[in-house]
């Protein structure tokens, strides 16, 4: 360590630009802040000794210097900014229609641009390793750049003395000399105090300072950002975060996925309400919309807790803990879980009742059978002795290239292939027919019997997101610290005024980190009646 | 009820006119003439601005009463509110720095924004479930206020640039300054063209395939670019000069594309008309009018606006947004384009502050950054709503 002893007697650390105590420029270090041949001193970080400006030998020094550079930080921000912008040009993979394949979707929808977008990984930009890396680099840059500046700046502002070196005074942006023998320093002091400055004295020199805490704002908000980023990382700890989804049909009681079998939910009723088209307030807007505008999505639910030990296959003993409604914007909260109204399916088929009759006589009947669509049996024996075997079941039937398929396991458009065996002929060839909503096809064209739909009943299904998130407090804390820091740094200004008696009058200088107009105004107010002439803005003169 | 919403729209008209008059007073206050007292004229200007602001607040609350929810739920309402916040932000900055020249630029921009807003459907719309929350007005109003204060830095930046950019020769700076002015002309052209055609109830209907289904698409301006594979079915309407490219899917995409072409052409016409009259770059013609502005102070106003606006923007557009998103959509962040563009705005102004505080970017550089920031805010306000999602076929 090559310490620097100033002529005022203060011992400064290596790399100091302006003496911590008196502000005298350290001759050999002026290049660090670009002060050579300049009329004014660069006052950033008060000329304190920053590690990044002092050492550049070892590998660690180089890494430190790289990350502590604001230039590097801004470049990281700009690269992230541009990448994010590109990431919004086409929808992210999570927003493309469910079921579509990303590898073909982008090409089909957006042509060559889509293909390139997909190949470069922009379709999943925000969870890509390199976007994460950018955020991590920003995080590292924030930590190192803050440490590099905060520690020396804190030391310097703590060490500063009221009496400043002439060189320091003269090279301040706000500076003035008054030559007069009738100067009222006492009044000046009082005026400064009246303007809520903290005034200290040394050998007749006055030093007035206010709002030093605002200088810590940037470092506080950077701490907030780090806490926030760490909070988002906590998501990857499984015990802290549950994200699951449960479909519950009306009337059904179901285990809530993600709660390890501990909680159950019963869907009493799902309500979808639309705005009244005749409401005169909204008539015009609803007309323009062309279809009903939804007003409410709501699930009336009962939450149960399982009270017995969890044994596979054993029916649970349930204790009601809460009756509640989940609406959009008003989730159900219980214990540490939250249930969000996220989706719904209206009019899902519950049961369908069929009748076996003669092909050419709808009024004849060989008996009826009812299929529970969520738990269909493999065969149904009718009163007449006929047996209907469920050849195939398509819960959500669609024709794909002429072949019947089911696009989901949810009974939204059920269809069946029935094999009908007359009484006592269960070994013979069955009559095959196909039945669905609005479709009934005779397999051979020579069928004697027909399976006709006589009744069905439907119900709604609600889709709820299940969340448990212990990381939220950290994230909220990070956000709060950030806000405090940013307000502290932005809404207050660190202002300093130095008055130094000279043989034939006084010198006055002022500095602030921002909002110079207000500083000038305050100095003008404080000098009133003291005989001290208001200083000038040397930067303005220069222009 | 109907009365309330009628009162509300009248108040908005009144506010518009008052802002317009206030602009003229500010313009008078910066004239170089020594005979009149600029301070007194400026004072009338600011009083009118405040009166206009309260009139528009009247619009806001009467409409709130009529709708039963805060009128910030669709593009018309939000952009109007943004215009109102811009006036509010201007008033605040005026009282900190007392410079009249700010009003000469800030008020016309607010006027343009409010006029622009009313080109969108203005009827009161019902709130869909995801918007039914107090966070609607907490989040939206704070975000809009933040954006508006940040926009004042653009106003200051523009004044700074018009005042300072060397107009004696053609440079990159003069080009981009003209480009900014041209963008203003484009906005104005859009407003004029839309108003004219809607006054004549112009309509041209097409039948065009959307996702394989034939759909009727109705233009409210003559179609320069018709929908892809569209067939004109209205009588007496102009047939399109060419078709929109195939990748512009959705009912509205081609309409928006056509509107954009009209605005760009209209902007060119307006711009060159003025330019031919003044016979020099418009920036150069405006320069002498702003001679009285002190660039030092204008630069500080620009910076101050960012210093005040950045925390408010962060609070409203990111933090409140996250709290609401957590409640409504079960995640506080979902990388939705609107969210990402709010983050981009945040990044941009964070970069602005770092460049200014640590790397000494002041004056011209800082002013150009402020212009860029405003472009991002406008992009988030308009393009994200109208283009990015518009291309995906929902309005």
pLDDT tens digit sequence for B291-322: 888 888 899 999 999 999 999 999 999 999 99
CA-based nearest residue to A328, from A498, A465, A455, A173: A465
Cα B116 to Cα B93: distance, rounded to the nearest angstrom: 24
* ipTM at complex level: 0.89
Residue B278 parent element (H or E):
helix B253-278
| pLDDT the model gives residue A297 | 92
Tell me which chain B residues have a C-beta less than 8 angstroms from the C-beta of A327: 129
Give the predicted TM-score (pTM) of the model. Answer: 0.88
| pLDDT the model gives residue B192 | 94
| pLDDT the model gives residue B36 | 60
CA atoms within 13 A on the CB side of B109: 26
Give the residue carrying structure tokens 């970017």: B361
A68 three-class SS: helix
Burial call B10-48: b when 16+ CB within 10 Å, e when fewer:
ebbebbbebbeebbebbbbbbeeeeeeebeebbebbbeb
Which of B1, B322, B348 lies closest to A81 in CB terms?
Answer: B348
Cβ–Cβ under 8 Å, residues B308 and B355: no
**Beta carbons within 10 angstroms of residue A156's beta carbon:** 23
Share of chain B above pLDDT 70, in %: 95
CA-based nearest residue to A77, from A142, A125, A123, A127: A142
| pLDDT the model gives residue B390 | 44
Cβ–Cβ under 8 Å, residues B139 and B130: no
Least Cα separation, residue B130 to chain A (angstroms): 6
Which of B132, B296, B307 lies closest to A540 in CB terms?
Answer: B296
Phi/psi of residue B261, each to 5°? -60, -45
Tell me which chain B residues have a C-beta less than 8 angstroms from the C-beta of A34: none
The one-character DSSP state at B71 is S
Tell me which chain B residues have a C-beta less than 8 angstroms from the C-beta of A76: none
Distances (CA, A) of A215 to A308, A486, A498: 59, 11, 18
Burial class (CB in 10 A: 0-12, 13-18, 19+), A29: buried
| pLDDT the model gives residue B393 | 34
| pLDDT the model gives residue A541 | 53
**Angle at CA B98, nearest 5°, toward B93 and B103?**
65
B78 confidence band (pLDDT: 50, 70, 90): very high
Cβ–Cβ under 8 Å, residues A394 and A404: yes
Where do you find CATH 3.30.310 in chain A?
Answer: 165-211+493-542
**Beta carbons within 10 angstroms of residue A331's beta carbon:** 22
Is B330 in Cβ contact with A340 (below 8 Å)?
Answer: yes
> What is chain B's mean pLDDT, rounded?
89
**Beta carbons within 10 angstroms of residue A367's beta carbon:** 16
Which of A279, A285, A296 lies closest to B129 in CB terms?
Answer: A296
Domain extents in chain B: 2-167+280-392, 168-279
| pLDDT the model gives residue B33 | 62
Tell me which chain B residues have a C-beta less than 8 angstroms from the C-beta of A74: 351, 354-355, 359
Cβ–Cβ under 8 Å, residues A395 and A373: yes
Interface test with B, best of A74, A125, A126, A339 (most B CBs within 10 A): A74
Cβ–Cβ under 8 Å, residues B219 and B356: no
CA-based nearest residue to B103, from B50, B180, B55: B50
B394 confidence band (pLDDT: 50, 70, 90): very low
Chain A CB within 8 Å of residue B392 CB: yes
| pLDDT the model gives residue A268 | 92
| pLDDT the model gives residue B391 | 42
Chain A CB within 8 Å of residue B211 CB: no
Cβ–Cβ under 8 Å, residues A431 and A447: yes
> What parts of chain A have a pLDDT lower than 50?
543
Cα A377 to Cα A393: distance, rounded to the nearest angstrom: 10
Burial call A66-92: b when 16+ CB within 10 Å, e when fewer:
ebbbbebbbebbeebbebbbebbebbb
Tell me which chain B residues have a C-beta less than 8 angstroms from the C-beta of A475: 332
| pLDDT the model gives residue A446 | 79
CATH code for the part of the protein at A165-211+493-542? 3.30.310
Cβ–Cβ under 8 Å, residues A199 and A188: no
Report the DSSP beta bridge partners of residue A413.
A396
Which of B66, B132, B330 lies closest to A342 in CB terms?
Answer: B330
Tell me which residues of chain B, numbers 232 to 271, contact chain A at a CB-CB cutoff of 8 Å.
247, 249
Distances (CA, A) of A388 to A314, A356, A420, B318: 32, 9, 5, 61
Pull the structure tokens for residue A427.
């070994």
Tell me which residues of chain B, numbers 287 to 306, contact chain A at a CB-CB cutoff of 8 Å.
295-297, 300, 303-304
Q: How many CB pairs under 8 A join A and B?
A: 144
Cα B284 to Cα B163: distance, rounded to the nearest angstrom: 9
| Average pLDDT of the residues in B52-81 | 93
- B368's CB contacts (< 8 A; 6+ apart) are B157, B161, B176
Cα B138 to Cα B145: distance, rounded to the nearest angstrom: 11
Distances (CA, A) of B384 to A66, A405, A442, B46: 36, 39, 53, 34
Share of chain A above pLDDT 70, in %: 99
Burial call A100-121: b when 16+ CB within 10 Å, e when fewer:
eeeeebbbebbeeebeebbeee
Is B314 in Cβ contact with A482 (below 8 Å)?
Answer: yes
Residue A143 parent element (H or E):
helix A129-159
Report the DSSP beta bridge partners of residue B185.
none
**Angle at CA B160, nearest 5°, toward B155 and B166?**
140
| DSSP characters over A316-385 | PPEEEEEEEEEETTB-EEETTEEEEEEEEEEEEEEEEEEEEEETTBTT--S-EEEEETTS--SEEE-TTS
Distances (CA, A) of A224 to A74, A77, A221, A418, A482: 18, 17, 5, 65, 4
CA-based nearest residue to B294, from A525, A537, A41, A39: A537
Report the DSSP beta bridge partners of residue B219.
B204
Tell me which residues of chain B, numbers 3 to 32, contact chain A at a CB-CB cutoff of 8 Å.
5
Is A281 in Cβ contact with B66 (below 8 Å)?
Answer: yes
| pLDDT the model gives residue A194 | 93
């Amino acid at each position: 360590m090559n310490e620097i002893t100033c002529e005022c007697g203060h011992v400064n650390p290596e790399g100091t630009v302006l003496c911590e105590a008196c502000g005298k420029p350290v001759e050999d270090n002026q290049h660090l802040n670009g002060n050579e041949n300049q009329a004014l001193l660069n006052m950033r970080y008060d000329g304190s000794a920053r590690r990044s400006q002092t050492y550049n030998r070892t590998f660690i020094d180089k890494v430190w210097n790289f990350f502590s550079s604001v230039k590097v930080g801004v470049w990281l921000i700009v690269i992230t900014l541009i990448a994010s912008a590109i990431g919004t040009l086409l929808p992210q993979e999570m927003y493309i229609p469910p079921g579509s394949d990303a590898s073909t979707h982008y090409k089909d929808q957006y042509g060559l641009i889509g293909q390139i977008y997909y190949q470069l990984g922009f379709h999943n930009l925000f969870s890509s390793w390199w976007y994460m890396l950018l955020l991590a680099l920003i995080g590292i840059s924030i930590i190192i750049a803050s440490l590099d500046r905060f520690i020396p700046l804190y030391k310097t502002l703590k060490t500063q003395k009221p009496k400043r070196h002439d060189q320091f005074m003269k090279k301040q942006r706000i500076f003035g000399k008054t030559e007069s023998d009738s100067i009222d320093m006492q009044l000046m002091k009082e005026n400064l105090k009246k303007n809520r400055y903290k005034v200290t004295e040394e050998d007749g020199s006055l030093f007035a300072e206010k709002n030093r805490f605002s200088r810590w704002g940037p470092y506080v908000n950077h701490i907030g950002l780090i806490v926030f980023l760490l909070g988002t990382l906590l998501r990857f700890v499984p015990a802290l975060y549950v994200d699951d989804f449960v479909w519950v049909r009306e009337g059904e009681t179901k285990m809530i996925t993600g709660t390890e079998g501990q909680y159950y939910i019963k869907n009493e009723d799902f309500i979808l309400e639309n705005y009244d088209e005749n409401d005169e307030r909204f008539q015009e807007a609803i007309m323009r919309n062309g279809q009903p505008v939804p007003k409410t999505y709501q699930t009336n639910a009962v939450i149960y807790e399982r009270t017995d030990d969890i044994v596979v296959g054993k029916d649970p003993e349930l204790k009601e803990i809460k009756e509640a409604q989940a609406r959009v914007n008003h989730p159900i909260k219980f214990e540490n879980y939250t249930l969000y109204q996220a989706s719904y399916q209206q009019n899902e088929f519950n049961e369908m009742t069929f009748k076996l009759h003669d092909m050419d006589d709808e009024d004849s009947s060989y008996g009826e059978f009812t299929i529970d669509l969520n738990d269909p049996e493999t065969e149904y024996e009718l009163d007449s002795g006929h047996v209907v075997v469920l050849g195939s079941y398509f819960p959500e039937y669609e024709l794909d290239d002429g072949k019947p398929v089911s696009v989901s396991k949810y009974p939204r458009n059920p269809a069946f292939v029935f094999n009908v065996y007359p009484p006592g002929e269960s070994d013979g060839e069955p009559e095959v027919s196909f039945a669905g909503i609005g479709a009934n096809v005779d397999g051979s064209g020579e069928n004697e019997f027909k399976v006709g739909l006589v009744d069905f009943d439907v119900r709604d299904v609600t889709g709820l997101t299940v969340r448990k998130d212990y990381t939220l407090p950290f994230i909220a804390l990070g956000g709060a610290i950030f806000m405090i820091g940013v307000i502290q740094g932005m809404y207050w200004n660190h202002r300093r005024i130095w008055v130094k008696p000279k043989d034939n009058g006084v010198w006055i200088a002022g500095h602030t980190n921002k909002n110079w107009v207000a500083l000038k105004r305050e100095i003008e107010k404080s000098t009133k009646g003291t005989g001290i002439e208001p200083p000038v803005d040397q930067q303005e003169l220069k222009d | 009820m109907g009365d309330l919403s009628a009162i509300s729209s009248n108040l908005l008209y009144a506010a518009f006119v008052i802002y317009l008059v206030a602009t003229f007073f500010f313009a008078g206050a910066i004239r170089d003439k020594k005979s009149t007292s600029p301070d007194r004229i400026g004072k009338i200007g600011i009083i009118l601005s405040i009166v206009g602001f309260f009139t528009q607040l009247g619009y806001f609350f009467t409409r709130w009463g009529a709708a039963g929810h805060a009128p910030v739920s669709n593009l018309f309402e939000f952009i109007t509110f943004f215009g109102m916040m811009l006036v509010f932000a201007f008033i605040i900055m005026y009282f900190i720095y007392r410079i009249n020249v700010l009003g000469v630029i800030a008020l016309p921009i607010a006027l343009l924004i409010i006029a622009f807003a009313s080109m969108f459907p203005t009827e009161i719309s019902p709130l869909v479930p995801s918007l039914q929350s107090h966070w609607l007005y907490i989040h939206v109003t704070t975000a809009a206020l933040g954006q508006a204060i940040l926009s004042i830095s653009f106003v200051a930046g523009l004044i700074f640039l018009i005042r300072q950019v060397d107009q004696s020769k053609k440079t990159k700076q003069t080009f981009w300054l003209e480009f900014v002015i041209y963008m203003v002309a484009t906005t104005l052209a859009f407003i004029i063209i839309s108003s004219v055609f809607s006054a004549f109830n112009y309509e041209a209907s097409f039948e065009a395939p959307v996702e394989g289904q034939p759909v009727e698409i109705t233009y409210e301006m003559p179609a320069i670019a018709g929908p892809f594979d569209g067939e004109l079915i209205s009588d007496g309407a102009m047939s399109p000069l060419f078709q929109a490219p195939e990748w512009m899917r959705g009912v509205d995409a081609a309409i928006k594309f056509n509107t954009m072409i009209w605005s760009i052409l209209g902007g060119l016409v307006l711009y060159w008309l003025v330019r031919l009259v003044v016979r020099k770059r418009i920036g150069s013609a405006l320069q002498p009018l702003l001679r009285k502005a002190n660039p030092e102070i204008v630069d500080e106003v620009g910076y101050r606006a960012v210093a005040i606006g950045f925390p408010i923007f962060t609070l409203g557009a990111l933090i409140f947004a996250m709290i609401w998103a957590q409640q409504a959509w079960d995640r506080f962040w979902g990388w939705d384009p609107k969210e990402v563009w709010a983050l981009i705005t945040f990044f941009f102004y964070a970069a602005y502050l770092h460049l200014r505080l640590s790397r000494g970017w002041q004056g011209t550089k800082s002013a150009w950054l402020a212009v860029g920031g405003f472009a991002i805010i406008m992009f988030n306000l308009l393009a994200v709503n109208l283009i990015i999602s518009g291309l995906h076929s929902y309005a």
